[in-house]
Amino acid sequence: MDERHIIFGLIALFALSACEHTVATVADNSAQRAANAAYFADDFNCTKGASEQIDLKLLNAATARYMEKCIRLEAFTEGSALYVNAAGIKPIKASAVGLYWKDSDTPKHLKLGPSFVVITARMRDCTKHNEMTRQAALLANAPGTIPAEPAILGACKTAATALFISDAEVVPTAMD
């Protein structure tokens, strides 16, 4: 074997080992991606039959008790806050929880005039939800790129907890 073949062979061997090293350093994030997908899939999957009926006053008093659970409650709303009764609809909210609506048309309809609603929702901790959103954004970027800050939109931008409303039944009242 002449010297050129040996050098060419070493270069080829070095190139192959470099490729193998690059492939080996790419992390397998499939488990984390699956965990994120499962977490976000729970945002709007509550049903009436699988939820616990509670009172809005109880929700305000014992928020932690209902964290990550499906609940059903009755309230007045104009789409952005929940109120115990129509007389309480003032600039000050009756509930400190934020609202995310599965059906984006519902809050648009409610802005036309406050309504009495029966909602089915999952209570979520916004700190956890925002962190999961941040992790998902990091995993969505190609390895080696600098990810943009995730967009934390809606109620979890300012609220500590939020209701992810799967279903909202607007009940006609004398005000309608």
Indicate the pTM of the whole model: 0.75
Does residue 69 lie in a domain region? yes
Q: Who wins on pLDDT, 37 or 13?
A: 37
Predicted local distance difference test score (pLDDT) of residue 74: 93
Does residue 14 lie in a domain region? no
Mean pLDDT of 132-145: 79
Does residue 142 lie in a domain region? yes
The total number of structural domains that make up the chain = 1
In the predicted model, is pLDDT for residue 42 greater than 80?
yes
- pLDDT tens digits, 50-102: 999 999 888 878 889 999 999 999 998 888 888 887 776 764 454 678 899 99
Residue 41's pLDDT band (boundaries 50, 70, 90)?
A: very high
Does residue 152 lie in a domain region? yes
Q: Residue 114's domain is classified under what CATH number?
A: 2.40.50
Does residue 24 lie in a domain region? no
In the predicted model, is pLDDT for residue 147 greater than 70?
no
Predicted local distance difference test score (pLDDT) of residue 22: 47
Structure tokens at 171: 């009940």
Does residue 118 lie in a domain region? yes
Share of the chain above pLDDT 90, in %: 34
Does residue 5 lie in a domain region? no
Tell me which residue range forms the domain holding 145. Answer: 42-171
Predicted local distance difference test score (pLDDT) of residue 149: 67
Does residue 57 lie in a domain region? yes
